[in-house]
Each structure stands twice: as structure tokens, then as C-alpha cells.
Structure 1
Amino acid sequence: MSNPFHLLHQQRFSPFFWTQGLGAFNDNVFKTALITQVAFNTASLTTLDGATLATLLPGLFILPFFLFSASAGQLADKYEKSKIVRLVKILEICIMLFASIGFLSRSLCMLALALFLMGVHSTLFGPVKYSYLPQHLQPNELTAGNGLVEMGSFVAILLGQVLGAWLGSLEQHALFTSVCVLLVAMSGYHLSRRIPLSPAPEPSMVINWNPITETIRNVRMVWAQQTLWVAIVAISWFWFFGATLLAQFPNLAKQVLQGSERDFISLLSIFSVGVGIGSVWCEKLSKGKQELGLVMLGALGMSLFAWDFANTAASIQQQLHAHPGLTLHTLGGLAYWRMLLDVGLLGVSGGLYIVPLYVLLQIRAQPAYQSRVIAANNIMNALFMVLSAGFSLLLFGMGVGIPQLFAITAAVNVLVALYLCMRQPEYWHSVRDYISGLRG
């Protein structure tokens, strides 16, 4: 397939693509609008400190991934997937109705519970999201399909955060945010009705509702297949890497670059668009095949451009401190544009890195437990994102600045890439064969 966008015109892919995109968009509109309100109007909502709440609230969204991913994986393997998606979309409408009451009544408890429930919504949808594709796409289409899904997800997250921040800043934020999230939720349900049937791979399975024992069973099942386990570690590292950098973009723009919200949005936008480009570009570079060589090339780019980005940001910071009258935009020179280019190429490298790993999970996991493999992956992703916050706090406590944090993360990324090659030499062999193929 030379043009991956061809899938967007097909019934087997298009409704699913737009449904999952709207779900990611709505998550971020609601979450960002809530955090914006907490940041700027804490006193009217609670007596707790705004900075503490802004740190705790995202944790409420991640918590369900630990609690319910194992159950969600079982449901996606036992029941027909399009029905699950429609039920999840109905749940989203109910949650947004509940959240609207919370916004209009200025009840932080209701809004916090709604955020937790949206985490449940995303947890239930996660295993379906990636196990749906192998049922409706040919093996040579999986790279294109996953690339489009990753592109759509990152663009949806970006647009949702920008819209959520704007809605949260309005005087009538409660009304406008409520109307927006409800309309998006209803649109998602409408689109989900067009998703084709996806027969259950294991309808006779008996569901274990104990999340602890089922999570342990999921992890053991994947651990027994080291190819899948190493791929999950690699995917989870991507979310650790991304969470570490993206969490600091606002502080980088404000404290290091002495910029404004516009600069933060620029960094976030360029990174997100870069990931989208890299994700879709995988199809062209891999020529429709499972190409693990792109993983190592993407990892190399992630370290290279994160390192250069850190050094450029540190250089700008030094110049601004040396010349107090200057601003980021009056500084002149190529440093600012070089930094933005680094962010974009960092995103492209991330897209090249992540898409082949999802394709590997889909191709090598047995259909009967594919959704449970994705569930195990989601649990690990959530764990690594929590660890990324601890990693950043530890380094900050040691006196490390934001540019230095980025440089250290880039260095650790090299170690992770070496670990992948040692645990699974296939990664190194694949990149060597891919480069040889390009020369040939």
C-alpha cells in the first residue's frame, strides 16, 4: 500500500479511526479544562493547593489502567468488539453528563470522580483499539493502520489540550465546556454505530473479575513470550520518555525560555505533528512490511534530537540570563528555530520508533489472547508514566535543571536501545538488514 490515507475511505477502518480520535480528543478537552480551572480558580473549588491538585488529578486518570486493564483485556477477547465500543461510547456520554453537573455546580468531587471514570472509559477502550486492527486489516496494511491511529491520537490529544485550555479560561467555562464534551461524546457514539462487526476470538472464556490475580496472570503470560515482553518494555519506555519531556514543556517555556503559553503550545504542537508524520511515514519506509529496523533508527533519532534540544535550550537560557533585556523572540540567531526543528524531528523519530512495535504485538500475539496482551501493555505503560514522574522529581531534587533532565533522558534512551538489542538481537539484525537494503 503506497498511500496509507486510502484506509480513511474504507468502512472497515474509517468509523473506527474517527471514533477513537474523538475519544482521545474528549479525554483531553475535559482533563485540560478541569486542570486549567484548578490552576486559575482553585479558591472557588477547594481549600487545597492548586499545584498539588494539578499534580494529583492526572493520577486519577491513570489509576484505572492499573485497576481495570486486565478485565478490559478479557472483555475484548470474549465479546464482539464493535458492541464493546458502542457501550463504551454510551458510558462516555453518561460520564460527560455527570461531569457537566460537576462543572455547573462547581463540585470538585464530582469533577474528580468524572476524571477517574474517563480513565475507566479509556481503559476499557484500550485493548479494543489495537486488537481491532488485525481483524480488519491485512498484515501488509498493519503498519499503515497503526501509523494513522498514532497520528490521529497525537493530533487529537494536541487539539483537545488546546481547546480545553481555551474553554477553561472562559468566563462561562462551565456551560461551554459542558456543551462541548457532550457533543463530542454523542458524535463518537454516532460514528461507533458504523464500525463493522469484529467476532470474539475466545467467546467461551470464563472471566476472572479479580483485577490483582488477572493482572499477575497477564504479566506472566507475556513474560513467558520474551519477544512480546521486550516489545512491551520498549513501548512503555516510549511513554516514559514522552511523559518526561512533555510534562516539562510548560515549565521549559516559562522558566527556561522566559516565554509564554504561546511558546508552550508551539512546542507541543510541533512535537505532536512530528509524531504524526513519523507514524505515517513508517508505511513508506517499511513498504508495508513489519520493519523492526525502524525501531532502532527511531531510538537513535530520539536521543540525538533530545540531546541537541537540551543543549540548545540551555544555550538560550544562558543568553537570556546574560542579557536581561532580551526575550526569546528578540534574541535573534538560529537557536530558537534549531530548537523547534529538534522538537519536530524528535517527534518524527518517536513515530518511527513506536509504530513497528505495535505491529509486532499484533502480528505475534495469538488472536485468542491478543487483547489481553494489549491490556498487559497498557498496565506497563501506566507504570512507566508514573515512574517518569518519580524520575523527574528525583533529578530535580538533586539540583538538575530542565535542559539537563532532557539530556539525561536522551542518554538513558541509548542504554534502553542497547538493552533491547541485547535481549532481542532481532532489533539489531533488522536495522542492519534495513540499511543494507537501502544501499542495495
Structure 2
Amino acid sequence: MTIAPSGTRKALIQNVTHLLGTKRFLPIFVTQFLGAFNDNLFRTAMILLVIYGIYRSEEQEAMFSAVAGGLFILPFFLLSALAGQLADATDKARIVRWVKTAEIGIMLFGAAGLLLLNVPLMLVALAAMGIHSTFFGPIKYAILPQHLRSDEVLGGTGLVEAGTYIAILGGTILGGLLVVQDAGGRYHAEYAAVGVLVVAVLGKIAGQFVPAAPPSTEDSGTINDPDLPRPGMDWHIVRASLGLVRATMHVPRLFVAIMAISFFWAMGAVLAAQFPPLVKNVLGGDQSVATLFLAIFSVGVASGSLVINRLLGGEVSARFAPISALLMGVSVFALYLLSAAWSPFPELVGTRQFLAEPTGWPVVASLFFVALFGGMFVVPLYAFLTTTVPKSETARTVAANNIVNAGAMVGATVLQYLLLKVGVSVEQTLLLVVAGTLVSAFLGKKLHRACLAAGHP
């Protein structure tokens, strides 16, 4: 199985250059780009504002970061089944317009929270953005086969993924820059409040141009158990979620792929939650250093996706997954050792002074390699998940993956919260990630063996 056989690589390159000029692709690309950008703009501004401008307790800051991550993730766990059913049963362009309209209302709450320094308002907006992303997530994968020719789908998918990483990076950097400190030492986020509203409106405008994408009539029993009922919409959240996961996870290759992806995102949830408190309370950096960490992580994951695509030569394969997970673990352990040995500054310092320290660049390098090897691990697994299912079942498969991913991330967040409550330090929670990479390496090896047994590379 290959993403791009050698005879078609030139065509895929042409696809990448021309799709951005087509009405079939550009609106959904811009819409998803702006959604990912706004997610990260708001979350970064909120977390930095709360940690640097509101709370004054290391324990409070670590707890807030963990709770914020959990609130954003929880809707994926609860509502992904409904999102997958809607995406397969309703015009996807109509859903895009619904969620983009909702985003404007959500960001009104978010902007108010940023302006008033009101933590509950910000958390309400964050949870609502999690719901927004839950319903939009399956669409960006499932809509492409309907709007693009079969020889364009992979090129379009690559553009969407690349655009998402760029949006994450841009939103993270801008979110950090728009949280400013005045002469009196107080932190403000007025510009960020305006920014999230402007981006939400632009996303709504872009969503209006997405072409109609009615439900697919293709039907295949290759994934879902033919003995299981396949009704229209099941609005019972628990029953729908359990049914969707059961109907997808009974396929061995999908089960292992989803479990491997879930462990990756569980580790990612722990890392992302601890970056700001780790920077402030352990490394002594200000919000610019925290922004640098988040940006480096995004760049690292994007770089990992490019590296692994080059190594695999276009094949969808898990053969590099075990070594990638192990190298990620080594990098996280190096970050832990550097953090544990760090001598904090007497006051918070900016990026220049942080990097001037002898161990400043090694800390950044270890973080980059954590993300690099993480990207090398997870990107082929997503490609495997989305290219081995029928078009009519892509949204449901992605939704099932999102449910399990979210469950793993919520579980990791709860465990992290409990560890912090019993006195485990912020830097020591990195050891939880190290342990998780060992499980991920095992699952990656198991998936590779399953692929070989099925005749795939």
C-alpha cells in the first residue's frame, strides 16, 4: 500500500500547486486553517494570561493548565459519535456553516473573558471551542473525497495537514505576542480578544463558499460488522459512542492504529498542559519563552511529518513507529534531566536571556526532538487510518478514533492532576510521558507486524 507510487508523484506535486486555486478545495482549506489558528490563538492567550497575569501559585497554575486541557478534550470523548453520524448523514457544507456561526458566539464569551480577566468565562469558551472542533474534525477528512478527484485526494490531504501545522504555529505565536505586560506589571489581552473575534468572522465568511457535500451513497461492509445495526442518527450519546467504537475497533489493524495514536495524544496532552507552568516555575522564563516552547513543538511535529514521508518514500507504513517512539522517550527524558538540574532565575526572563544560559539551547533542542520523533511516529498512523477505509466510512472511522483519543487524553489529564495533588513536581510528570513512549513503541511494533501479515509494508 502506498500513498504516492513513483509513477504518480509528479502528478501529486502538480495537485499541490493547483488545488489552492480551485473552488472545490480552497474554501474548506481556508476554513479549517482559520479554525485551527483561532483555537490556538485563544488557548495560548488564555493560558499565558491566567498563568502569568492572574494566578500566583505554582500548584494553581499547573492545575489550571491540566483542567483547561481536559475541558477542551472532553467534548471529543462525549460527542464524536454524533459528529461522525452527522458528517456521514448530512450535507457537510451545511455543518461547516453551522459550526462557523457558532464560533462567533463562542468567541464573544472568550473575548469577554480575556478582557475581564474572568477565568470561568474563558473556560466556558474553551469547552465550547472543543465542541466546535469535535463537529468540524471529521468533516475535513471526509469532505475531500467528495470534492476532489481520486488522484487529488492525497495531495489535498497533505495540504490540509500542512495547513493545520502552520495554523497551530501561527496561532500559538500570535497568542503569545498579544498578551502584553504594562508598565505596572499587569498583563492584558485586549488585542487577543479582538483577534479571536476577527478570525471567527473570517472563518464564517470562508465557510460560506464551501461547495455542497451531500451524504455519500457508497456502502461497504469492510469496516463495520454486518451484524451490527446501522441506523440513521442515534442521539443517545453513550450508546452511539459505544456502538461506533465497537463497530470500528473490531478490525485488528484499526484497533492497534487507534490505540497507538491515542497513547501519542495522551502523552501530548501531558506535555502541552505542562509547558507554561514548566517554563515559568521551573525554568524561570516569561510568556515569550512559553510561546517559544509551544512554537518549537509545532515546528518539530511538522518537521517530523516531512522527515518520515521522506524516509518512507511515500509508503503508508508503521515500520519506523517503534524507533520513533523510543527516540521520543529518550528526548523527553533528556528534557526532564535538564529541567531537574536547572537553576531558576531570581526573576522571570525573556527568550534572549533564557537562550544565553549554557543549557538553554539544549533544553530547546530536546523539546524539538520530542516533537520531531512524535511527528514521525503519529503521521504515518493517521495516513494508515484514513487511506484504508471506504469513503463512506471515513468520517465515522475518524470519529471513533477521536473518541478513543479523547478518552486517553482525559485519562492522562486526570492522572496528571492526581500526581500533582499528591506532590509530584511539574518536571517529574515528564516521566509519565517517558513511560507512555514505551507503550507506544510496543503498539507501533504490533501494528507493523499486523501490516506485514496483511501484505502491507
Which TM-score bucket, shorter chain as reference? 0.7 to 0.9
- Deviation of 1:218 after TM superposition, in Å, equals 0.7
For residue 356 of structure 1, what is the aligned residue in structure 2? Answer: 380
Change (3 A) 1:237 1:29: same
Answer whether contact 2:316 2:384 (CA < 8 A) is retained.
Answer: yes
Q: Which moved more, 1:203-212 or 1:263-272?
A: 203-212
Cα deviation, 1:311-334, whole Å, max 9, x if unaligned, reads 3434x42xx37999x9855543xx
Distance 1:231 1:274 in 2: 22
Return the letter of the residue paired with 2:107.
M
> Pick from 390, 411, 434: which aligns with 1:387?
411
For residue 437 of structure 1, what is the aligned residue in structure 2? Answer: none
- Deviation of 1:214 after TM superposition, in Å, equals 0.3
> Pick from 114, 130, 151: which aligns with 2:125?
114
Change (3 A) 1:94 1:409: closer
Cα deviation, 1:215-234, whole Å, max 9, x if unaligned, reads 11111111221211211111
What is the count of residue pairs matched by the alignment? 422
For residue 308 of structure 1, what is the aligned residue in structure 2? Answer: 334
The sequence identity of aligned pairs, in percent, is: 37
- Structure 2, unpaired ranges of 5+: 1-8, 219-229
Q: Secondary structure at the match of 1:289?
A: coil
> Pick from 153, 169, 183: which aligns with 2:198?
183
Answer whether contact 1:228 1:365 (CA < 8 A) is retained.
Answer: no
Matches of residues 281-296 of structure 1 in structure 2 within 5 Å? 281-296=307-322
Answer whether contact 2:45 2:176 (CA < 8 A) is retained.
Answer: yes
> Pick from 80, 101, 112: which aligns with 2:91?
80
Q: Which moved more, 1:246-255 or 1:162-171?
A: 162-171
Answer whether contact 2:264 2:440 (CA < 8 A) is retained.
Answer: no
Change (3 A) 1:120 1:401: closer
For residue 46 of structure 1, what is the aligned residue in structure 2? Answer: none
For residue 71 of structure 1, what is the aligned residue in structure 2? Answer: 82
Answer whether contact 1:147 1:283 (CA < 8 A) is retained.
Answer: no
Return the letter of the residue paired with 1:263.
V
TM-score between the two structures when normalised by the length of structure 2 = 0.78
> Pick from 324, 332, 336: which aligns with 2:360?
336
Matches of residues 245-284 of structure 1 in structure 2 within 5 Å? 245-284=271-310
Change (3 A) 1:67 1:426: closer
Cα deviation, 1:358-385, whole Å, max 9, x if unaligned, reads 2222122233332111111111222111
Cα deviation, 1:260-279, whole Å, max 9, x if unaligned, reads 33332222211211111222
Change (3 A) 1:337 1:179: closer
Aligned-residue Cα RMSD (Å) equals 3.7
Return the letter of the residue paired with 2:136.
F
Distance 2:285 2:189 in 1: 29
- Deviation of 1:255 after TM superposition, in Å, equals 3.2
Distance 1:329 1:182 in 2: 34
Distance 1:142 1:291 in 2: 18
Change (3 A) 1:291 1:58: closer
- Deviation of 1:96 after TM superposition, in Å, equals 2.6
Q: Secondary structure at the match of 1:198?
A: coil
Answer whether contact 1:152 1:276 (CA < 8 A) is retained.
Answer: no
> Pick from 188, 202, 208: which aligns with 2:234?
208
Cα deviation, 1:299-348, whole Å, max 9, x if unaligned, reads 2332232233333434x42xx37999x9855543xx43233222222222
Cα deviation, 1:138-166, whole Å, max 9, x if unaligned, reads 77766654444344323323432343344
- Deviation of 1:84 after TM superposition, in Å, equals 1.9
Distance 2:106 2:357 in 1: 47
Please state if 1:29 is matched with 2:41.
Answer: yes
Matches of residues 39-438 of structure 1 in structure 2 within 5 Å? 39=51, 55-100=66-111, 110-136=121-147, 145-169=156-180, 176-202=191-217, 206-314=232-340, 316-317=341-342, 320=343, 328-329=354-355, 331-332=357-358, 335-396=359-420, 400-422=424-446, 425-426=449-450
Distance 2:176 2:294 in 1: 13
Distance 2:375 2:89 in 1: 31
For residue 438 of structure 1, what is the aligned residue in structure 2? Answer: none
- Deviation of 1:236 after TM superposition, in Å, equals 1.2
Answer whether contact 2:301 2:371 (CA < 8 A) is retained.
Answer: yes
Cα deviation, 1:383-406, whole Å, max 9, x if unaligned, reads 111222233345456665444433
Answer whether contact 1:299 1:417 (CA < 8 A) is retained.
Answer: yes
Change (3 A) 1:133 1:295: farther
Return the letter of the residue paired with 2:440.
V
> Pick from 6, 10, 31: which aligns with 1:19?
31
Distance 2:101 2:188 in 1: 24
Q: Secondary structure at the match of 1:248?
A: helix
TM-score between the two structures when normalised by the length of structure 1 = 0.81
Q: Secondary structure at the match of 1:247?
A: helix
Distance 1:178 1:321 in 2: 32
Answer whether contact 2:329 2:437 (CA < 8 A) is retained.
Answer: yes
Q: Secondary structure at the match of 2:396?
A: helix
Distance 1:108 1:338 in 2: 34
Change (3 A) 1:8 1:287: farther
Q: Secondary structure at the match of 2:234?
A: coil
Change (3 A) 1:402 1:91: closer
Q: Which moved more, 1:357-366 or 1:136-145?
A: 136-145
Answer whether contact 1:73 1:371 (CA < 8 A) is retained.
Answer: yes
- Structure 1, unpaired ranges of 5+: 44-48, 435-440
Q: Which moved more, 1:171-180 or 1:70-79?
A: 171-180
Change (3 A) 1:41 1:414: closer
Answer whether contact 2:93 2:212 (CA < 8 A) is retained.
Answer: yes
Q: Which has the higher helix share?
A: 1
Distance 1:125 1:425 in 2: 33
Return the letter of the residue paired with 2:78.
L
- Deviation of 1:71 after TM superposition, in Å, equals 0.7
Distance 1:26 1:307 in 2: 32
Distance 2:427 2:62 in 1: 22
Q: Secondary structure at the match of 1:347?
A: helix
